[in-house]
Amino acid sequence: MIKVGVVGYGVIGQRLADGVILQEDMELVGVAGNSKPTLAIRALKEKGMPYNLYMASFENKELFDELDIPLSGTLEDLVQKCDVILDATRAGVGAKNKELYKKYNKKAIFQGGEKNEVADVFFHGYANYDKGVGKDFLKLTSCNTTGLIRTVDCLDKAFGVEKIAITIIRRVADPGDYHRGLTNALKVDPAPSHQAVDLMTIMPHVQATGILVHTPVTHGHIITVVASLKEDINKEQLLEVFKAHPRIRVVKIADGFQGNAALFRYARDLGNPRGDMYETAVFDETIVKSGTDIMFAINIPQEAVVIPESIDAIRAALKMQVDGNEAVSLTNKYLGMGKWM
């Protein structure tokens, strides 16, 4: 069994821990939090401490003692017990933690907020799995880029993609975050968006550009994609390949899936923990032709969409599976993806 530690127990870290627990060929050693009993850690205690908790330091141990929250050791203790670390800390912290991972000769997977230089490979489970096999340090793409690459890679493998143009309607913060204030405005970033640039880093044969618009909402992003393919296909052909992809869910506006909030509500109705959804959703009625180009819109559930690719990264780095198709199939199986197909 591969021994995994999760460093950073916030929005992504909680979900990474839950995802690792579901993998039948991995063992979660524990999770490392920051120096204070955050709401996530308080919830962990109230749930009966299903995961061992480690801390960067015991600087504020008395705060945990007052709440009767048991600590299993320090971050350094956790690192020594693991084969690989999933680092879900704030941007910049992972780069500092890397020195500790190197000290104990441990592999690590970083999230999209870190700079690309932190890792040997900028990684996506479907688009470039082979490049991550055996590497020590891998970095995931951001939530938007992860979901976007799923759809573009799916089309590229089926029909060939020459170029894309995207517009990202980006949620301003995660649910429960207040640091960006209460707003009633849209904000446009200069083009091209980093998601387009990042996609070209993973898939250098595809020309991509994009515009990003920040919106005062919290439950997911919407991306519109205009794709120029090497084959002139129709909507039915596009739907066929999307519906066959375990990490892409085709939904219909006519069925009530009118946008990001509807998908979040549906995930809660399914009983998914926290209302999480791993899949990229494609809205059926947004698929249209423009000459030989084809356009569609997708939903990105930003809190959970990167979890499957993070698990893929463990499989690649530890050479658990050398073949990418075998690796993603196992991740999908243990996470229960594709069950609606």
* Same domain flag for 66 and 151: no
Give the model's pLDDT for residue 338: 84
Shared domain for 103 and 243, answered yes or no, is no
Q: What is the DSSP letter of 118?
A: G
Report the pLDDT value the prediction gives residue 174, as an integer from 0 to 100: 64
Phi-psi region of 141 (alpha: psi -120 to 50; beta: other; left: phi over 0): beta
- Please indicate, yes or no, whether residues 296 and 151 belong to a single structural domain of this protein: yes
Q: Are residues 72 and 174 both part of a single domain?
A: no
Give per-residue pLDDT as tens, 7-37. Answer: 999 999 999 999 999 999 999 999 999 878 9
Residue 308 has a pLDDT of 97
Task: Tell me the C-alpha distance between 263 and 185, whole Å.
Answer: 23
171 and 318 share one domain: no
- Phi and psi at 45, nearest 5°, equal -65, -45
Sorting pLDDT into bands at 50, 70 and 90, what band is 197? Answer: very high
Verify that 178 and 123 share a domain, yes or no. Answer: no
Instruction: With respect to residue 340, please indicate whether it lies within any of the assigned structural domains.
Output: no
Q: Please check whether residue 234 lies inside any domain of the structure.
A: yes
Q: Supply the range of the domain harboring residue 152.
A: 143-300
Question: Is residue 122 domain-shared with residue 186, that is, in the same domain?
Answer: no
In DSSP terms, 123 is beta-bridged to 140
Residues 30 and 53 in one domain: yes
Q: Which residue has the tokens 């999770």?
A: 31
40 close to 33: Cβ distance less than 8 angstroms: yes
Question: In the predicted model, is pLDDT for residue 245 greater than 70?
Answer: yes
* Beta strands 2-7 and 84-87, pairing class: parallel
Mean per-residue pLDDT, 278-291 = 96
Q: pLDDT at position 100, please? A: 97
Q: Are residues 79 and 99 in the same domain?
A: yes
**pLDDT tens for each residue of 73-96:** 999 999 999 999 999 998 899 999
The pLDDT tens digits for 145-187 are 999 999 999 999 999 999 999 999 887 766 665 566 656 788 8
- Is the residue at 126 inside a domain? yes
How many folded domains does the chain comprise? 2
The strands making up 137-140's β-sheet, listed across from edge to edge, are 73-74, 53-55, 26-33, 2-7, 84-87, 107-110, 137-140, 121-123
Q: Is the pLDDT of residue 265 over 90?
A: yes
Q: What is the pLDDT of residue 173?
A: 66
Averaged pLDDT, 53-71: 91
Residue 198 belongs to some domain of the structure? yes
Task: Name which of 57-61, 103-107, 264-268, 328-332 the model is least confident about.
Answer: 57-61
Marked catalytic residue, from 143, 281, 316, 328: 143
Is 143 tagged catalytic? yes
Q: Residue 19 sits in a domain of what CATH number? A: 3.40.50.720
| Residues 237 and 249 grouped into a single domain | yes
pLDDT confidence tier of residue 316, bands split at 50, 70 and 90? very high
Regarding whether 137 and 149 lie in a shared domain, the answer is no
150 lies in the same domain as 106: no
CA distance 72 to 51: 10
